[in-house]
Amino acid sequence: MSNSEPLHILDATVLTDWIDYNGHMNVGYYNVAFDKATDALFDRLGIGVDYVRSTNRSFFTLETHVHYVGEVLEGAPLRYDVQLLDHDAKRIHAFFRMFHATEGFLSATSEQMCLHVDLATRRSAEMPAEILANVDRLATSQKGLPWPEQAGQGMRIRRKS
C-alpha cells in the first residue's frame, strides 16, 4: 500500500438480479455493491463480522452519497478502490470508487460517513486503540492522495450564468 493510489479492496460482477428495465445496473444495487466493498474494508481494518461478534460493537453508516458516472451492464466485472478521507476516535469518512474492471472507466463513487457504535447501548463509542491504530495506518499510507472530485459535494441544479 502506498500513498500514490487508493487501496484496491474488492472485485465483483454485476449480477442478473441487479439489472433494471433500462438494461443496466439499478440504482438501488449500487448501494448493495458499495456495501460489499465497505464490508471488505472493514474486514481489512479488523472491524468486520468477527469484530462485531466478539466485541458487540460495530459501525453504522450515517450518510452516503452516490455519484453515477458510467453505466455498467449485466455480467460486467467490477473493481472497487477505497480512499480514507478522514477519521477520528468514533468516525470513518471513506470514499469508494467502482470501476469497470476490464474497460477501466469509472462507473460510480460512494462517499460514506460511518460511526462506531456500542450495540448494547446503541450509542456511539470510541474505537478500541488497536482498531484506531489500524485506521491510522491506512490514513497515513494515503496521506498524499488528492481529495476526490466527487467528495464533499452537495446536490443542486447547476445553472448557466
Query: pTM value?
Result: 0.93
pLDDT tens per residue, range 40-91: 999 999 999 999 999 999 999 999 999 999 999 999 999 999 999 999 999 9
The C-alpha cell that represents 62 in the structure block: 450515517
Please report where in the chains the cell 460510480 appears, as a residue: 108
Spatial distance between the Cα atoms of 84 and 62, rounded to a whole number of angstroms: 16
pLDDT at residue 4 tops 70 = no
With a CB cutoff of 8 Å and minimum separation 6, the contacts of 28 are: none
CA 126 → CA 71, 92, 123, distances in Å? 38, 11, 10
Spatial distance between the Cα atoms of 74 and 29, rounded to a whole number of angstroms: 12
Spatial distance between the Cα atoms of 33 and 160, rounded to a whole number of angstroms: 34
Reduced 3-state DSSP string for 67-121:
EECCCCCCCCEEEEEEEEEEECCCEEEEEEEEEECCCCCEEEEEEEEEEEEECCC
Task: Quote the percentage of the chain above a pLDDT of 70.
Answer: 98
pLDDT at residue 1 tops 50 = no
Q: Which architecture, in CATH terms, is 7-141? A: Roll (3.10)
Q: How many CA atoms lie within 13 Å of 30's alpha carbon, on the beta-carbon side?
A: 24
pLDDT at residue 2 tops 70 = no
